[in-house]
């Protein structure tokens, strides 16, 4: 029998919050900015291809121009876009750099956090970020939900290093097995949870990845249903 779950920790980017639009629509949104409208099926194919490229090849915060251009070309190819893909990728990247960094809540973030709080579950955020995570969450009016916010830049440790999770569990006097960690990255979030003995829930709305040994949800609020079954 599993221990009683007392806490849920969340990744931030592409889990609780998304850049500009939900990650499943981001590539189509960028294409729209340069005058390309993707049909729904093409938009999903592009989103899946971009997500797989990102998760499989992303190795840290520093990404050079060629990496991003390849990322955009991968999405364009998957969507079946014709033309000079290299130039289109450059156009998309220029738009990316010009757009203000605007984060939006996952559509189910509030209802998920409310349901968990009503159940008496302790909440925290553990995320690879750039130092302003608390302010970002405050700007989106969700900071008050969380007992702790662990921003990798602030604490000096990045996921999947188990030390960043232990900062939370030790401070809150919890065993990792009493915690669920929810995130979108198999290599950062799922491996982190599994390495410390927490319950891993991979948020995979595009259904891109097989589980490495944890559980998978396609909508953020599914974590509440999962919790009720544990």
Residues 81 and 122 both lie in one domain: no
Q: List alpha helices for the chain, DSSP H.
A: 26-33, 40-57, 65-79, 85-98, 109-118, 133-139, 152-155, 162-171, 191-196, 222-229
> Would you say residue 177 has pLDDT above 80?
yes
Domain-located, residue 195: yes
Tally of domains in the chain: 2
Last residue of a domain, one of 79, 98, 117: 98
Domain-located, residue 189: yes
Mean per-residue pLDDT over the chain, rounded = 95
What CATH number does residue 219 fall under?
Answer: 3.40.50.1000
pLDDT of residue 60: 61
pLDDT of residue 62: 58
Overall pTM surpassing 0.85 (yes/no): yes
pLDDT of residue 2: 62
Domain-located, residue 215: yes
Domain-located, residue 170: yes
Residues 114 and 14 both lie in one domain: yes
Domain-located, residue 1: no
Domain-located, residue 202: yes
Residue 35 domain boundaries: 21-98
The string of pLDDT tens digits covering residues 182-221 is 999 999 999 999 999 999 999 999 999 987 788 999 999 9
Average pLDDT over residues 119-144: 98
Residues 14 and 25 both lie in one domain: no
Which of the two residues, 61 and 15, has the higher pLDDT score?
15
Average pLDDT over residues 71-94: 98
């Amino acid at each position: 029998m599993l221990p009683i779950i007392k806490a849920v920790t969340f990744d931030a980017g592409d889990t609780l919050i998304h850049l500009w639009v939900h990650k499943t629509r981001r590539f189509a949104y960028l294409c729209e900015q340069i005058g390309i409208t993707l049909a729904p099926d093409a938009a999903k194919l592009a989103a899946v291809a971009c997500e797989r490229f990102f998760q499989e090849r992303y190795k840290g915060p520093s990404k050079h121009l060629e990496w991003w251009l390849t990322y955009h070309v991968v999405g364009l190819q998957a969507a079946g876009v014709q033309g000079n893909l290299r130039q289109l990728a450059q156009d998309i990247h220029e738009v990316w750099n010009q757009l203000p960094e605007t984060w939006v809540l996952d559509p189910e973030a509030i209802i998920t956090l409310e349901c968990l709080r009503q159940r008496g579950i302790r909440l925290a955020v553990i995320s690879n970020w750039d130092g302003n995570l608390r302010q970002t969450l405050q700007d989106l009016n969700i900071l008050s939900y969380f007992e702790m916010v662990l921003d990798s830049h602030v604490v000096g440790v990045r996921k999947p290093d188990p030390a960043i999770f232990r900062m939370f569990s030790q401070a809150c006097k919890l065993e990792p097995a009493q915690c669920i960690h929810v995130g979108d990255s198999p290599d950062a979030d799922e491996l982190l949870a599994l390495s410390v003995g927490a319950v891993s829930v991979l948020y995979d709305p595009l259904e891109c990845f097989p589980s490495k040994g944890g559980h998978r949800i396609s909508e953020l609020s599914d974590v509440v249903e999962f919790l009720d079954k544990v």
